[in-house]
Amino acid sequence: MKCPLSVVVSAAALFASCASSTGAIGEPKSLAVREVGSFHVGGGQVSLSGLPVKEVAVQQGTAPIRIDPNGDFEVHQMYVQYIRLVAPKARYPLLMWHGGGLTGVTWETKPDGRPGWQQFFLTAGHDVFVSDAVERGRASWARYPEINSSEPLFRTKKEAWEAFRIGGPDSYHPDVARRVAYPDGQFPAEAFDQFAKQFVPRWTTSDRAIEAAYEQLVLKVCPCVILLHSQAGAFAATLALKHPERIKGMVAIEAFSAPDPATVEPARFARLAGVPFLFVWGDYMDAPAFWRRSWTRVKAFSDALAHGGARVEWWDLPARGIRGNGHMLMMDRNSDVIAAQIQAWMEQAGLMK
Amino acid sequence: MKCPLSVVVSAAALFASCASSTGAIGEPKSLAVREVGSFHVGGGQVSLSGLPVKEVAVQQGTAPIRIDPNGDFEVHQMYVQYIRLVAPKARYPLLMWHGGGLTGVTWETKPDGRPGWQQFFLTAGHDVFVSDAVERGRASWARYPEINSSEPLFRTKKEAWEAFRIGGPDSYHPDVARRVAYPDGQFPAEAFDQFAKQFVPRWTTSDRAIEAAYEQLVLKVCPCVILLHSQAGAFAATLALKHPERIKGMVAIEAFSAPDPATVEPARFARLAGVPFLFVWGDYMDAPAFWRRSWTRVKAFSDALAHGGARVEWWDLPARGIRGNGHMLMMDRNSDVIAAQIQAWMEQAGLMK
């Protein structure tokens, strides 16, 4: 067993993590896998009628065939891929939920080609379930305006560069050579275009469908621990309140939102007493301004959890001496330092065998 | 090691496969995995301008933010997920290419929940690369009509039920209980709606972009063996002719199309001399009528390959005593019988160490 020299921020956390790994961090000598597979969950049948029939050649050089767009469709399902270990060291499967305009690829790889957190947490001994929420990736998407009421949004590179805090306002440029990332930023900015290939369109009118499918997932595979990012924060928090017996721990990476505690019956928080929650935030939180609003919303929720008896930790990474992380911190150069600390937190929280 | 009793159609093929597996078919006791990950390949930057700016609340309960849809996007990339073994028994990685209106999920699972061919061929000792072609799944999709020139098609359940030969003409019904599958059909028809959750929209104007990204994939990870389905047939055949030194074998499951040999310089076929090609076809090939046209197109290509010296096998499954398979034969109840025969063919073709 060896541990990378760069992983020296928290020696205690590091050793806890290394000791529990089957090999070096992110570099398993051999991962003993029992099963790989996937499934769709949630959603249901919707029928359309009254749309015009067309003749279409579905592949170049082939004869046109009659396409009738009217009929039955499965819509609003989500996609889940799993890798189960022969001998998991974690007590519960780890569900990895991505953010808005993205898919489960968030966890599979890093834009500079290093292994993603999926492999990290597999190596640390977790059965891992990586999903694509309703409307994106392998979950597919439903026709609009007939089924989804709005059109989708396509995130530009500039919007992502700024919103994900790769660089400050107006530091993006179409020409890679002329982009100015934060000088101490940890995102591999030279590989930003590779990251942009992961972007998928998003709808703003599908929250209920997304949450409903996540609920079916929770009912199917939990008790579990949820590792979530950004948009998934509100869904995970809502489902923890609704199914507290199924949520054994939660790690929220820059959750974009959470339910307003004033709208939640206090007894619901008490049902999460003893459950470990970890909230993780990166650097540069004051530009753009909406991130501090996210922080404030999520802090109120976190405080209500703690008041109800949950075991809450709130990690402001710069305050812990870890600087330069943006919103996609699971892809940053120091991302495995953070993963190792999360793994150590899980061990301390009793989530490992 | 044990082999399921139901897998008795071809004892020779079966034993070849079982002997080379790390455990029972589809049920690895332990798969020694070296690395899991994914990447995007192909495509590039496209810029849009002149579209109206909007104010949008991107999640319920959060304040609207300004969304400018103008700017730069990565488009026409494809997505590839890989699982590499510690000690592969195959000489080359196995690339699994899905059909139209579908994604790599085709290979990951079966609608009735049994493990997919991804796990089968991992268990047999192949490093496996499962991809989503341009325009679908985790490859994302580009805005239309600004980037993709046409709107997408959404396949209805009725169209899929008939086109994929689950049942005959007009045997589909919106009510599951009233659908009439072929009585001797091997598709798990009771799970057809679960299969329909895998459907994704498709474009008819993106063939060149799809082929360009597949070419980048071939240049990145081959020499390789390609296991393809349906729509991918034409892309794989075209790239085999273009990069013969990189294609060490090909298994075409119901290829929808292939280049017309009359349009190909004969010397190109000669460059594939010695390369093993296997073409596999299921049952019920005469309804709907377009399948027999696919068969005829692909047979002409196969004959030209054989004439050029490639080692071609053409499997008409009913003629081999295997009946009841439709277009999604990798999901059929007897699908692992077919996989075992394909694995045995690979061994005989010298594709294993």
pLDDT tens-place string over residues A296-309: 999 999 999 999 99
Q: Which residues of A touch B105 (CB under 8 A)?
A: 38, 40, 79, 138
With tokens 């790769």, the residue in question is: A166
Q: Determine the distance in angstroms separating the CA of B299 from the nearest CA of chain A, rounded to an integer.
A: 15
Of B153, B154, B160, B156, the closest CA to residue B187 belongs to: B160
Poorest-pLDDT segment among A64-73, A131-140, B57-66, B72-81: B57-66
Q: What does the alpha-carbon distance between residue B329 and residue B336 come to, in Å, rounded to a whole number?
A: 9
Is the confidence at residue A345, as pLDDT, over 80? yes
Say how far residue A39 (Cα) sits from the centre of its chain. Answer: 18
Q: Which residues of A touch B138 (CB under 8 A)?
A: 103-105, 132, 137-138, 198, 200
Q: What is residue A61's predicted lDDT score, i.e. its pLDDT?
A: 73
Is the confidence at residue B10, as pLDDT, over 60? no
Tell me the mean pLDDT in the region A205-216: 96
Q: Determine the distance in angstroms separating the CA of B321 from the nearest CA of chain A, rounded to an integer.
A: 30
Instruction: Test B113 with A39 for CB contact under 8 angstroms.
Output: yes
Nearest-by-CA chain B residue for A204:
B58
Compute the C-alpha angle A352/A243/A206, nearest 5°: 110
pLDDT band at A27; cut points 50, 70, 90: low
Q: What is residue B56's predicted lDDT score, i.e. its pLDDT?
A: 83
Task: Please report the ipTM that was assigned to this predicted complex.
Answer: 0.92
User: Whole-model pTM above 0.90?
Assistant: yes
pLDDT tens-place string over residues B56-115: 877 777 788 888 899 999 999 999 999 999 999 999 999 999 999 999 999 999 999 999
- Selected for mutation to probe chain B from A31, A34, A36 (highest B CB count within 10 Å) is A36
Q: What is residue B2's predicted lDDT score, i.e. its pLDDT?
A: 35
Which one-letter DSSP state was computed for residue B153?
Answer: B
pLDDT tens-place string over residues B112-140: 999 999 999 999 999 999 999 999 999 99
Buried-exposed string B294-305: b where 16+ CB fall within 10 A, e elsewhere: bbebbeebbebb
Tell me the mean pLDDT in the region A166-191: 97
- Selected for mutation to probe chain A from B22, B29, B31 (highest A CB count within 10 Å) is B31
- Token digits of residue B324: 């009841």
Instruction: Test B30 with A86 for CB contact under 8 angstroms.
Output: yes
